[in-house]
Copies of this chain bind each other. A is one copy, B any other.
C-alpha cells in the first residue's frame, strides 16, 4: 500500500510563481491590518484569477496558515544561528527577544492568528512543533552548560511569550514582554545554583 506518487513532471514554473506571489500579497495585506480582505481582492492584487488562489489554498484559513507558517520557519531558522554566535543563555534570551520583535514589527503572526476562527488545534499543533524544536535546542544547550536548571519546560516559555504577544494592545506591552523574558530566565538561573 505504499504507493509513492512519482510525479512524472517537474512542477510548472508559473504555478510556483503564482503561489509565491499570492503569499507575498497576502502577507502584505495582513501585516497592514487588512485581515478581513476578500480573497477575490488578494487574487486580483496578485494578478491571478480567484480559481488560481483556491487551487493553491483550498480555503481562507489555509492561506492564513501558509503565511503564518512561512514566518514561523524564518523564526525557527534563526535559532541555530544565534546558538553559534552567543553563549547558551544569551542565545536563548536573544531568541526569545527576537520572537517579541517579530510581533512588534507586526509580522503577521498575532493578528492573523486572531483571525482564525475554529479549528486552531491543528495549526497550533504543527507550528508548535517547529518552534518547539528551535527553543528546545537552545534550552538544552543552556542546561548542558550548567547555566540554567532543567526544571522549566521550554514550552512554557514559548506559551508565555506567545500569550503576551497576543495581548499586544496596551502601550507598554513590548517592555512588558521583554521583562517577562528576563524574569523567566532569572528564575531558571536561580534554581540552578
The stretch that binds B, out of A20-28, A38-46, A86-94, A181-189, is A181-189
Q: How far is the CB of A123 from chain B (nearest CB, A)?
A: 8
CA distance A120 to B167 in the complex (A): 9
A154-188 interface (Cβ within 8 A of B): 155-156, 158-167, 169-170, 173, 176-177, 179-180, 183-184, 186-187
Residues of B within 8 A of A113 (CB): 114
Residues of B within 8 A of A33 (CB): 118
Interface size on A, residues (CB 8 A): 40
Of B118, B159, B180, B186, the residue contacting A35 (CB under 8 A) is B118
Query: Chain A: interface secondary structure?
Result: helix
Judged by a CB distance under 8 angstroms, whether A128 is at the interface is yes
Complex contact B153–A159 (CB within 8 A): no
Q: This chain: how many copies in the complex?
A: 2
A50-67 interface (Cβ within 8 A of B): none
Given that A124-B167, A186-B187 are known contacts, is A176 also in contact with B162, CB under 8 Å in the complex?
no
CA distance A36 to B156 in the complex (A): 30
Judged by a CB distance under 8 angstroms, whether A152 is at the interface is yes
Judged by a CB distance under 8 angstroms, whether A190 is at the interface is yes
Judged by a CB distance under 8 angstroms, whether A125 is at the interface is yes
Complex contact B176–A153 (CB within 8 A): yes
Given that A117-B115, A120-B169, A169-B120 are known contacts, is A176 also in contact with B190, CB under 8 Å in the complex?
no
- The 6 lowest CB-CB distance pairs between A and B, nearest first, are A163-B163, A124-B169, A160-B160, A159-B164, A187-B187, A159-B167
Residues of B within 8 A of A114 (CB): 113-114, 116-117, 120
Judged by a CB distance under 8 angstroms, whether A11 is at the interface is no
Q: How far is the CB of A152 from chain B (nearest CB, A)?
A: 7
